[in-house]
Amino acid sequence: MKAIAYRRTGDPDVLELVDKAVREPGPGEVRVRIVRSGVNPTDWKARRGSSDGATVDPPQTPNQDGAGVVEAVGAGVTPALSGLRVWIYEAAYQRPEGTAQEHALVPARNVVTLPDRASFDLGAALGVPFLTAHRCLTVAEGGPTRLGPGALQGRTVLVAGGAGAVGNATVQLARWADATVIATVSTPAKAQLAAAAGADHVVNYREQDVVAEVRKIAPRGVQSIVEVAPAANAGIDAQVVSRHGSVAVYATDGGDAMTIPVRSQMGPNARWQFVLVYTEPHGAKTTALDDIAAAVMDGAVRVGPDAGLPLHHFPLERAGDAHAAVENGAVGKVLVDVSE
């Protein structure tokens, strides 16, 4: 079978198209015929590693997320999974078997059934972005631990970078849960994408005063802030977070440091929560998987330009270009077309 692998860390050109043997799933595993492989920032960061040129042994097949059809199951896995359409998350976490290959061995716990109404494009776009978004929306003091219709009713959510993949997922899940959603963006084109995703209000932070605009919409502040650029936005977030509100930080914007005005955050008992999907509590992740599956079943989450998430397709042999697109800040979702 065809697969992408890298034997050393570095630029996208370390990704090679190789031939691999199709193997039988081991205990607790399933073999999935991959249709779409999703690319996330975490994938190119893992490929780069901490330094260029480090040996990767065994060779790594990249990409955490994907979608396809289960074609074989290992010992201890229910045979009922065989033949089902599924979406995949964390395929390559601490494992050499990502989704950028025609047939992937995946722990059965890392596949979720994909209803017939949902496309493989959607399935491959769910994992990292939607799990991250769910965690960010469920860490506020007094807020819900589950998402669904009505769960966020009466609450306001501020999504920094509302046109990004996680931003888009957050907007869609928050609207499904009946929150009022404010998204910040940097361009008019991105404003259109955030609005298409379902944002009630969109603020262009290059042209508008974010604090003033948010306070017009939510005079008492917002209960949940989902933050992609904490170094740049911590001061803004501190001014608009409500009493008992939360700021969920899921990314860094060029560095590891941010400055939080501590005294002003003590008064409202604000919570600053750091989010990494791979190490979040097991119960929170299990809940997120259930809720995301329910949102997919409801038809509440979508992909494509009409959903504010343009799709960029690359064939398997151009997986390096797909990684480069994500690394260079492509707006939307980058997918690798592995099979029909």
Q: State which residues form the domain around 139.
A: 129-278
**Both 135 and 251 in a single domain?**
yes
Domain final residue, candidates 258, 278, 298: 278
pLDDT at 148 over 80: yes
Residue 188 belongs to some domain of the structure: yes
pLDDT digits (tens, 9 = 90+) for 97-129: 999 999 999 999 999 999 999 999 999 999 999
In the prediction, which pLDDT does 340 show? 84
**Both 31 and 141 in a single domain?**
no
In the prediction, which pLDDT does 255 show? 75
- For the record, the structure tokens of 2 come out as 């065809």
pLDDT digits (tens, 9 = 90+) for 134-146: 999 999 998 999 9
DSSP letters, 285-338, are HHHHHHHHHHHHHHT----BGGGTB-EEEEEGGGHHHHHHHHHTT-SSEEEEE-
pLDDT at 246 over 80: yes
pLDDT at 316 over 90: yes
In the prediction, which pLDDT does 254 show? 72
Strands, E, within 171-319: which ranges?
180-185, 201-204, 222-227, 241-249, 271-274, 311-315
Give the pLDDT mean for 178-203: 98
Residue 124 belongs to some domain of the structure: no
d(CA 314, CA 114): 22
Q: Which residues contact 83 (CB under 8 A, 6 or more apart)?
A: 69, 70, 71
User: What total number of domains does the chain contain?
Assistant: 2
d(CA 183, CA 133): 14
pLDDT digits (tens, 9 = 90+) for 43-81: 999 999 988 899 999 999 999 999 999 999 999 999 999
pLDDT at 268 over 80: yes
Residue 289 belongs to some domain of the structure: no
DSSP secondary-structure letter at 21?
-
Residue 284 belongs to some domain of the structure: no
DSSP secondary-structure letter at 64?
S
Beta bridge partners of 204: 185
Residue 290 belongs to some domain of the structure: no
In the prediction, which pLDDT does 247 show? 98
pLDDT confidence bin for 256, thresholds 50/70/90: confident
Give the pLDDT mean for 264-288: 97
**Both 222 and 268 in a single domain?**
yes
249: left (phi over 0), alpha (psi -120 to 50) or beta: beta
Residue 99, φ and ψ in degrees, nearest 5: -95, 0
